[in-house]
Amino acid sequence: MTKSLAESDIRFLQYRLEVISHWPSSARKHAATEAISRRLASIARAALGRKGVDDLLAMTCRLLDKVFVSEQ
């Protein structure tokens, strides 16, 4: 995955997190949140071994933090 593709993916996931944050608590919301967190973790893992993608790691970590905070 190229850096620009990953950035686009992260921005879309950020948008999805915003959308589902307004949903009432439900199994659907939990499943969507779980899917987003798994995708973010996948992007972060892919970026770990690459140089010049520190911003991708920061973006994914920030969004994952939001996911975990919102789940509590």
Rounded to whole angstroms, the Cα distance separating 34 from 56 reads: 20
Confidence of residue 1 (pLDDT cuts 50, 70, 90): low
pLDDT tens-digit map of 7-65? 899 999 999 999 999 999 999 999 999 999 999 888 888 878 777 777 788 888 888 88
The ranges assigned to domains in the chain are 3-71
DSSP 16-67: HHHHHTTSPSSHHHHHHHHHHHHHHHHHHHHHHTSTT-HHHHHHHHHHHHHH
Q: How confident is the model at residue 72 (pLDDT cuts 50, 70, 90)?
A: low
Provide the residue type at 8 as one letter.
S
